Amino acid sequence: MMTGHPLALFCVTVVIAVSSSGLVNGQQKDEYHIDVLVYVDFAFYDNWLKETNMSDSPQAQNATKEYIAYLFQGVNRRYRTITNLPFNISVHVSQVEIARTPQEANWTESVKNDTGSSRPQVNATAVLENLKQFVTDNYSTLPPFDHLMLFTRYDLVGNSAAEGKFTTGLAYVGTMCKNSSVSIIEDDGGAVNEATAAHELAHSLGANHDGNGNDCNASDLFAMTDLGANPKVNENGAHKKLNLWTFSNCSSQYFNDTVQKLKTEGLEKKCLLTKLKQEGVPPVPDNLPSPPDQQCRHIYNDSSYFCRMPYAPPNSSLDDLCLKMACYNPYLAGETCTLQTADAGTCCGQGKWCQQGRCVENQLNSKCSNINDSCPFGDQPTNIKLYGTNDSKPCDELESSHCYEKKLRAKCCEHCEKYRTNDVDCEYGDINAKCQVTPCGNATYAEGCCGTCKAYQPGKCKDITVSFSINYVNKSTSKTDVLTGSCSTLVVERRMLCYKNSFSEPCCQSCEEARTNDSRCLFGDRVLGCSEEGCAQDPSLTHDCCQTCRTTTTSTPIPTTATTTYTTTMTATTTTPTKTTTTTVPTTTTIKTTPREAMTSKPTSTITSARELTTTPTTPTTPTSTPTTTTTTTTTTPTTTTTTTTISTKARTTPTPVRDLCIPLLGVQTCGCAALTTNLALLLTAMALIVAITM
């Protein structure tokens, strides 16, 4: 066992222990412990701080140590798979220290080649020699260890262009328990780090690459393959990737030869048979491993994320996640996702997690028990490109119609789940965007706007039981007119209310019965006070007075002036539970013309509101009385809500229509304008129904 003293660095000691469990020829197996002292340079620590949004602090240092402890749990599991030796090997961390400044990480900083990229390069051979010299110079002051391992975030390169592209680690061979028992690891993410650390440690235990001076084959992809920690394979060889978590028979033989040599040299008892006490190494927390999104960011950079589309049900599943975790690669063109290996313990289904490349049942604890297989990791944490456009939005800003597009639904599964209904023909509500109620008489339109138009499908809806009390107050006369009634009564009195979604939806049955066959004038005139004379004088009235203006005369009305204030008080009593949907009034309506999974919406009709203008009274008047409020309450169930709304109108010219939106009258900037506001919110049980209507 080598001794020494830690410097002001991030240093982790890992112990590889040989277990006494098991029998060989009827005798108990020896247990060997390999203590690994791990140094983490400043580049690694600085990147960790950025990933976790932490500043240099004891908490950040502890979190870094937790990650290292988690990493070496995986290294240990790989060595515990060896069963064909007369001894067992285990690996653990004995100490961790952090290089918190560049000056404390001279092994890498002194040979750093800043290429202008996000990851400067360092020559792997030069760093390894620096590390070996560091051990030699500080041997007497370093803490005890069997192997010293350095992690760096810098890009390791070899002595040639061919070597440089693929170097992820480097170690001396057969030097365990000696001054040259050192290695370096390039930080490329959890699963790759784990595999590379186990690989370089095996070199120190005497193992060569499979196929290099031995009968094993690198293409079998055991831990000592020289094809890398995440080799590319075709479908026929995909099953071989599971070998990455185990060692070949050739590696086992190398380990045995090294241990026998250490025994001959008298180093076995001083090194492998002694298990060091861990110093300052925290236990692995429950929040490790990180979710796939963070794992992908660790592998690439902050712009990376877990690609959800390859795992979207019903045609895909999470079973392949452990070996094929798709990460967005920001260094490639387009939205390209590359396959990585998920960290050990990553959830891969409800009650299932990744162990040694396999998705298996978690029988140890409750982790992953709350995973939703259809949306295991929530929404993609980036803006989503909308189908058929150049626009993009975050998931929480998308409309229900977007959820019919399969790729978008996979990326925004959590958001789309909020829109899901029990209607298989209208699974996520409106299929088209910007739906409104009035064109729902058209069957094609109703299909594309199935959510909005559901209330207008004959036989599929009934009125809720609502009682309205509406008071009209004239300031000049102080006269109050009261209109009270249910849906059916109010539709008879004021059929134009059905043009308002907030009224037509709860009163859908009465509005359906009042519907005409004229798609441009479904419920007759849209305002009160329409006259043939007004239609003749002002062609723009043909929309609001669509029924009256079908036939017009040329008579000219005589204008008069009055000032009216409407105070509207409504008492609504609900006895039938009804779900309320609020629909934004669109300017363009689209029709579903393609399958739900690949829709291209196109405008087919426009519902245009009358122009809002500033009212210019012909004769100024002054109100002579204060608006009054009358409340009438009808109680039929325990849930009753009363709301009073007062709207004052300026002077208007009669006999022009009283309308909810102003339009020019008689060719001048004077208009009849009394705001018609309908705001009916239907809520179940404890929530109240509030209706505000002004005529």
CA distance 90 to 76: 5
User: Under 8 Å CB-to-CB from 179, ≥6 apart: which residues?
Assistant: 2, 132, 135, 136, 139
Could you tell me if 362 and 370 are in contact, meaning their C-beta atoms sit under 8 angstroms apart? no
Judging by DSSP bridges, how do beta strands 30-40 and 147-152 pair with one another?
A: parallel
Helix (H) or strand (E) holding 165: helix 161-166
Q: How far apart are CA 389 and CA 402, in angstroms?
A: 12
Residue 381, preceding peptide bond in cis (omega within 30° of 0): no
Measured CA distances, 259 to 27, 56, 170 (Å): 18, 41, 21
Q: How far apart are CA 149 and CA 380, in angstroms?
A: 36
Q: In 18-160, which ranges are continuous DSSP H helix? A: 42-52, 58-79, 106-109, 124-137
Tokens of 362: 């978690």
Q: How far is CA 501 from CA 258, 438, 609, in A?
A: 82, 8, 14
60 DSSP 8-state letter: H
186 tagged catalytic:
no
- CA distance linking residue 391 with residue 36, whole number of Å: 52
402 is in an annotated binding site: no
What amino acid is encoded at 662 in this protein? C
Q: Of residues 66, 200, 427, 505, which has the active-site annotation?
A: 200
How many angstroms separate the CA atoms of 575 and 573, rounded?
7
* Bridge pairing between strands 602-605 and 27-28: unpaired
Contact assessment for residue 462 and residue 509, using Cβ atoms and an 8 Å cutoff: yes
Phi, psi values for residue 18, rounded to 5°: -95, 125
User: Is 33 one of the annotated binding-site residues?
Assistant: no
Residue 235: burial class (beta carbons within 10 Å; 0-12, 13-18, 19+): exposed
199 annotated to a ligand binding site: yes
Q: Which of 317, 608, 670, 630 is nearest to 481 (CA)?
A: 630
Q: Are 200 and 229 in contact (CB under 8 A)?
A: no
Residues annotated catalytic, as ranges: 200
Binding residues: 199, 203, 209
Binding residues for Zn(2+): 199, 203, 209
